Amino acid sequence: LLDLYRLIYDNMSYVVRGKGGYAAPFSSNIGVLIGDPASPIMWNLFFADFCLPPRADDIRLAGMPISHLEHADDVIVFSTTPEGLQSHLHSLAAWGTGAFVTINVDKTWALEAGGASAYDVFLHLNNRRVTFETHAKYVGMHMSSTNPRLFHAHYEQQSLKARTASAMCYAVESLTGSLPLPMITVIYKGRVDPHLIAGHDVCPDAVSSDVLHLETVQRAFLRRMLGLGPRSCLSPLFSETGIWPIRVRRASLCLDFLTYCRGRPEGELVAYALEDCIALAKLGCLSWFGDLQIATAAVGGHLPHGAVLSAELISLIQDSIRRAMLASLNADFAASPRLHLLRGQTASGQIGRVGTTLALREYLKIDRRSLRRALTRLLVSDHCLAVELLRYSSRDRPPVPRELRVCRFCRTEVEDEIHALFYCSADPALLLARQRFARDLWR
């Protein structure tokens, strides 16, 4: 078998496909390229005989002891006691010696979930001490021992990555000039959104302060994309671009993962894990399923643990989340005095239609950025008219009541969007601009 794979690798070549054509075949002289199907198969065959003796202090899923997991050659070993973990490390070292595998102790770390122990713990692997970390990463998930929530650090790290990706997306404009807004939304979905949704299936958003890190990055990106300030309303960020709020999106994706877990046959680890999570949630203990219930309830859904979790039920829960999101946006438009110019976009009785309440608006496809941003600021009330500027306090004055935010020219009416566009006649330049606009409109 080894000779067969050696022959395959000696004669293997690669071809790149792009733009309807193919590159000339080439060989890899620096190792096996990612995507080679033979490499993981070979490792799985090599690692197939690895096992750890079961112990009473092992973690159990539905009564089945789980002492280790592997993702390719990244191995993680579990135990509920230091003695059990040390025993497993001895077994791992013994297997490595027999399999002629060197375990890199420098890359090996230990982490105590739920906080540090009251006494010092020392672990050794191949007669070398294993380093205890307060923060570590395994298969893309950041873990922390300084917080009762194991994946608290994951939100912070992913928000930093998303913020960096956001800055790089807009840095491109220094080389290309202003990008069309539809193109920026594509860049967002391809470069920023993956960081924001990472880990949605592992850690449901049960802690609002954690997911707030991700929401802050998303809102900052959308505000910059639309050219809005930090005080602008939140609802237009989503209703005008067609992008879902990240909390709702992560909850919906996590429910997709629940559908996958529910469909796994009995005997798989995923099925055992879900069974235990539901049992813990029924007892009121912390669990993945309990966190998903909290995350679902926070966005307008209800995930029962007593009912049969069929694919149809989960689909209904996802639909209720979507409808709750749209109803929340419509309620914001109806209640906010700042968004009265956007109320007509949603027809009565169409709350459940995403294309009506949540869509990329036509006016955002205007190529000229200055015109597009000026129109957007006018529609979402993030402009320099008195009705908006005097809403907030400053160093030398408190907020001004709405009826006193009078026009700077006529001094008779409130200076709002409608008055400035169509009614004020006290400024000759404004009248001339209005006449020019009407003439161009009806030409």
Q: Say whether 58 sits in a helix, a strand or coil.
A: coil
Q: What's the pLDDT score for residue 115?
A: 72
According to DSSP, the residues that pair with 360 across neighbouring strands are: 241
Q: Is residue 341 predicted with pLDDT exceeding 60? A: yes
Say yes or no: 70 and 129 in one domain. Answer: yes
Is the Cβ–Cβ distance between 134 and 155 less than 8 Å?
Answer: no
The number of residues in the chain equals 443
Structure tokens at 113: 């979930």
Residue 190 within any structural domain of the chain:
no
Residue that wins the pLDDT comparison between 12 and 139 = 139
Mean pLDDT confidence for 84-98: 94
Structure tokens at 308: 């049969």
Tell me whether residue 305 is exposed, middle or buried, using C-beta atoms within 10 angstroms of its C-beta: 0 to 12, 13 to 18, 19 or more.
Answer: middle
Q: How confident is the model at residue 336 (pLDDT cuts 50, 70, 90)?
A: very high
Q: What's the pLDDT score for residue 353?
A: 53
How many percent of the chain have pLDDT more than 90? Answer: 71
Among 133, 161, 194, identify where a domain stops: 133
- For 134-205, where are the E strands, in sequence order? 135-138, 141-144
Residue 114 within any structural domain of the chain:
yes
Say yes or no: 65 and 18 in one domain. Answer: no
Residue 69 within any structural domain of the chain:
yes
Q: What's the pLDDT score for residue 347?
A: 47
d(CA 352, CA 331): 13
What are the backbone angles phi and psi of residue 101, rounded to the nearest 5°?
Answer: -115, 135
Q: What's the pLDDT score for residue 441?
A: 84
Is the Cβ–Cβ distance between 180 and 363 less than 8 Å?
Answer: no
Could you read off the pLDDT of 266-279 as tens digits, one per residue?
889 999 999 999 99
Average pLDDT score, the chain: 89
Q: What's the pLDDT score for residue 26?
A: 80
Residue that wins the pLDDT comparison between 415 and 39 = 415
Q: Is residue 32 predicted with pLDDT exceeding 60? A: no
d(CA 251, CA 320): 12
Say yes or no: 28 and 89 in one domain. Answer: no
Residue 31 within any structural domain of the chain:
yes
With the CA atoms of 350, 351, 354 and 358 taken in that order, what torsion angle do they form, in degrees rounded to the nearest 10?
A: 110
Residue 160 within any structural domain of the chain:
no
Structure tokens at 289: 């399923």
Q: State which residues form the domain around 17.
A: 2-47
Q: What's the pLDDT score for residue 37?
A: 55
Q: What's the pLDDT score for residue 345?
A: 65
d(CA 40, CA 42): 5
Is the Cβ–Cβ distance between 379 and 344 less than 8 Å?
Answer: no
Mean pLDDT confidence for 244-263: 96
What 8-state DSSP symbol labels residue 192? I
d(CA 189, CA 206): 24
Angle at alpha carbon of residue 362, lines to 357 and 366, rounded to 5°: 145
Residue 182 within any structural domain of the chain:
no
Could you read off the pLDDT of 408-425 as tens digits, one per residue?
999 999 999 999 999 999
Alpha helices in 190-287 (DSSP H): 193-197, 208-226, 235-239, 246-262, 269-282
Mean pLDDT confidence for 72-76: 86
Half-sphere exposure of 56 (CA within 13 A, CB side): 0
Say yes or no: 401 and 421 in one domain. Answer: yes
Number of structural domains the chain divides into: 3
d(CA 166, CA 191): 8
Could you read off the pLDDT of 278-303 as tens digits, one per residue?
999 999 999 999 999 999 999 999 99
Residue type, 311: A
pTM (2 decimals)?
0.87
Q: What's the pLDDT score for residue 182?
A: 94
Could you read off the pLDDT of 161-220 as tens digits, one per residue?
999 999 999 998 888 888 999 999 999 999 999 999 999 999 999 999 999 999 999 999
Q: What's the pLDDT score for residue 71?
A: 85
Mean pLDDT confidence for 96-112: 91
Say yes or no: 19 and 81 in one domain. Answer: no
Mean pLDDT confidence for 83-89: 95
Q: What's the pLDDT score for residue 73?
A: 81
- The separation between the first and the last C-alpha atoms of the chain, rounded to the nearest angstrom, is 80
d(CA 115, CA 120): 13
Q: Say whether 361 sits in a helix, a strand or coil.
A: coil
Say yes or no: 427 and 394 in one domain. Answer: yes
Structure tokens at 318: 């996802």
